Every structure is written in C-alpha cells, then in structure tokens.
Amino acid sequence: MSSHQHINARQISSETFKNEEPPAKRRQLSSCDDGESQHLRRLPLRAAVVEEGQSPSTTDELTVQSGKSLTGEEITCNNNNNNNIEAVDFSVVSADGTDDRTSKDYYFDSYAHHAIHEEMLKDEVRTKTYEMAIMQNKYLFQDKIILDVGCGTGILSMFAAQAGAKHVYAVDCSSIADQARQIVELNGFSDKITVIKGKIEEIDLPVAEVDVIVSEWMGYFLLYESMLDSIIFARDKWLVKENGIVFPDKAVMYVCAAEDGDVKRDRVDFWSNVYGFDMSPIRNIALKEPVVDVIDGKSIVTDATPILHLDILTCKKEDVEFEASFELKALRNDYVHGLVAYFECAFTQVHKPIGFSTSPFCRYTHWKQTIFYLPESLVTCTGETIAGEIKCKPNKKNRRDLDISITLSVNGRHSKFTKQMNYRLR
C-alpha cells in the first residue's frame, strides 16, 4: 500500500447538525457544540461524505470526534439528512401453524424479512462506504474471484461485479438468497454472480481460492449476532495466502460515559413505581439488558477510549471473548448514568483508506450505540477519572448473545464508587 499524504481536516460546525431530521426515534442526534467538542480529542481523519447528487467518488474532509484514530485515515462521519426507519417485528410463523425450528432457524429466517434489509440499505453511511471502498479501488476487484459472506440482497456482490470482478460467489443462509438470485438476474449479473443458499461452514465453492472476501458482518456492540466466526472460517478456508483482501479489515470498539437521566428514568427506574406499585424486581432485569439506541452527542461527558482492536486478516474466533481495562476522563461537571459503546470500521488495504464511525457525534447508522445503565448515578467533576474493566464473552447457551461484565471505580469529590455490573446483550 502506498504511503498516505497528510490530510487537512475541517471541523464539524454546530450548524451541520442543527437542521438534521432524526430517524423515527425518541431523541435528536447531537449538535456538535463547539464549546464542548473542543475538549474532545480530534482525529486527523479524512471522511468520505456523499452529498445528494454527487457521485460516490466525491469526498469531503471533516473531523471525527471520539477516541484514538482507528487507522489515522479516512472515516465516514456524514451529517446529511437520513430517511426515517421504523422498528419492525420479525416474527416467523409456519404456514400450517406448527413450529419445530431451532433458535438458529429463527435467527437466519429473521434475515429473510425484507424490512431488515430495507433498514440496512437505507443506512447510507453503511452502504455508501462499502460502495466507495469497492468502486474507488476497482484495481483490487478487476478479474478477481470474490466471496460475499452473508450477501443479503446481493448489493455488495453487484458493486463488486460493477468493479470488474471475474466472478462473485454470494452466500447467505436465509431465504433472502432466493430473492438475491432474482435481483442478480434482473440486473443482468447472472453471468458474473452465483448466489449460494446455505451456511458458509457447510457449502462447497466451485473454486479452491478467492482473492477478496467482502462482508457486512458487524452487529450491535460490534460483536452481537455478528458473523465474525463465519468470516474467519471463510478466510482460513478460501482466501489466498498472499495478498488476500478482506473488506473491511479493521474494527475498533470504544467506550465513554454519558449523562442520560431522562431515558434511564423511562427505561429502568420506571419499574420502581408503576401506578403506585413497586415492580423493582423487573427494574433489576432491565438494568442487566443494555439498550441499543441513538444517544445525543451532547450527553457524552467523558473522553472515549478503545477497548477492542480487531484485524480481520489475523484475528481468531477466540477474540470475540475479550477483557480490557480503561480510564475515562471527565470533560465537565455532570452526572453519569451509563457507559456508551460504539465502533469504527475501516478498509485499509486500499490506496486511500476509507471507513465509518458509529460515534454519537457522527451521522445515524442502524447500529446506533449501546448503552449500559448504572444501578446508581455518579457525579463527576472536570478532570476526574473513571477507571474500569470490561469482560465480554459469548453466552454459553446462545453464542450470538453476549455476557458482559463491567467493573467501575470512582474516587471523586462527590462520588466514591466501586461496583461490578453484569449485563446480557440479547
């Protein structure tokens, strides 16, 4: 990969966010208030911004606000208007009323519902970043064999075919593969794309090796219901040993702390007094379930620090189980009601690295952020630190669920707190 030129980044002004219409959610996306954001570490990243009416090759430059840079390069932090996205119930019912399927059947069948693919396709940060990563680096795809793991509707496979791939093998375990096959034919790619329905671990490819693996494998909290195990399996079995490419190839997860009292009262403390009745046993359950939602960037009261680095070319299945210590520095005097996790992904095996962030300071993505509410509020003063340790591992009964343990220690002017909290993301 060629050396990268220094890139001057422009700051995001507060005006960028003010007029943005949020998705169909209960909270506004943040304005990037200069008075607060100046305290955050700014990343020297060049972000790929696609304005309406521009081609995918058009880029703009801006500054992402979060922890340390994932690659020191290009991260998408778009602040354009986004379409409204409704929450959908993906219940699966057999035609004859019977149901003898396993939890895995339910998981894969949920991805057959068109609404979940609509949500992902309408996530322009996600989809346009993949499009630019592929179309701006056609030399990596020209006359190459491509494997698309978890192809869904086939959008990434068609990008690869447009980029000049010799052939694309698109694999998906859910019945969306049937529609993907029709979509491929409808768009004239039947001679370039072969759709295979089945688990990547169980199928046979008609080739011994592939040059590039593309996949959108990330889940909430990066790892929840993610296909990382499947990507690693495909990489080890089919990816060429020399100069093999995985799109994307880098991911980093961050944690920070937030003031979010209104939502905590609505989601958690509500159970302490329900029409005059004490339902606190349910409050204890609610506390143990992280909330996946959009949080306002103005609610973030500390800096952010990385807790997990993944190199998809070299990582192992065991890396899904991780432990990390962290230290957060308070940026202002405020309450802390919970910790917030988000992630960044990057395509670095290209001439001009590109990526995106799910930071609260960046444009909405369907991954949102993951919020871990604390059993009691903390009070922090500017400059004080929150020390912590996080442990994450797949649940023993269902590997797609995550058991997460967080230990926090605060020795501040107003709060002295040492406690371990256990959560399950499911």
> HEC profile for the chain?
CCCCCCCCCCCCCHHHHHCCCCCCCCCCCCCCCHHHHCCCCEECCCCCCCCCCCCCCCCCCCCEECCCCCCCCCCECCCCCCCCCCCCCCCCCCCCCCCCCCHHHHHHHHCCCHHHHHHHHHCHHHHHHHHHHHHCCHHHCCCCEEEEECCCCCHHHHHHHHCCCCEEEEEECCCHHHHHHHHHHHCCCCCCEEEEECCCCCCCCCCCCECEEECCCCECCECCCCCHHHHHHHHHHHECCCCCEEECCEEEEEEEEECCHHHHHHHCHHHHCECCECCHHHHHHHHCCCEEECCCHHHECECCEEEEEEECCCCCHHHHCEEEEEEEEECCCEEEEEEEEEEEEEECCCCCCEEEECCCCCCCCCCCEEEEEEEEEEEECCCCEEEEEEEEEECCCCCCCEEEEEEEEEECCCCEEEEEEEEEEC
Beta carbons of 228 and 250 less than 8 angstroms apart? no
Is the predicted pLDDT of residue 54 greater than 80, yes or no?
no
In single-letter form, the type of residue at position 20 comes to E
Q: Cα–Cα distances in Å, from 245 out to 140, 233, 238?
A: 8, 14, 11
In whole angstroms, give the CA distance from residue 200 to residue 18. 44
What's the pLDDT score for residue 37?
A: 35
pLDDT at 314 over 90: yes
pLDDT of 150 over the 60 cut: yes
Span 22-43, pLDDT tens digits: 333 333 333 333 333 333 332 3
Is the Cβ–Cβ distance between 28 and 49 less than 8 Å? no
| Residues 6 or more apart whose Cβ sits within 8 Å of residue 196 | 169, 170, 171, 172, 177, 203, 205
Confidence of residue 56 (pLDDT cuts 50, 70, 90): very low
Contact of 290 with 236, CB cutoff 8 Å: no
Residue 143 predicted with pLDDT over 60: yes
Q: How far apart are CA 81 and CA 22, in angstroms?
A: 8
> N- to C-terminal Cα distance for the chain?
39
pLDDT digits (tens, 9 = 90+) for 325-348: 999 999 999 999 999 999 999 999
On whether the CB atoms of residues 152 and 173 are closer than 8 A, the answer is no
Of 29, 80, 76, 77, nearest to 53 (Cα)? 80
Residue 71 vs residue 164, higher pLDDT: 164
Tokens standing for residue 221: 């909290």
**Domains detected in the chain:** 14-80+104-425 (2.70.160.11)
For 355, phi then psi, to 5°, come to -170, -170
Dist CA 101 CA 109 (whole Å): 10
Report pLDDT digits (tens) over 66-122: 333 454 444 545 444 433 333 333 333 334 444 454 444 444 454 456 788 799 989
Question: Which has the closest alpha carbon to 415: 301, 283, 310?
Answer: 301
Bridge partner residues of 255 (DSSP): 305, 341
Is residue 307 within 8 A of residue 68, CB to CB? The reply is no
pLDDT digits (tens, 9 = 90+) for 217-262: 999 999 998 799 999 999 999 999 999 999 999 999 999 999 999 9
Task: Report d(CA 39, CA 276) in Å as an integer.
Answer: 43
Residue 20's pLDDT is: 36
How far lies 157's CA from each of 120, 121, 340, in Å? Answer: 15, 14, 33
Measured CA to CA in angstroms, residue 376 lies from 96, 292, 372, 414 at distances of 49, 20, 12, 13
Q: Which is more confident, 75 or 149?
A: 149
Please check whether residue 254 is in contact with residue 305, taking contact to mean a CB–CB distance below 8 angstroms.
yes
The answer to pTM > 0.85 is no
Q: Catalytic residues, which ones?
A: 216, 225
pLDDT at 114: 75
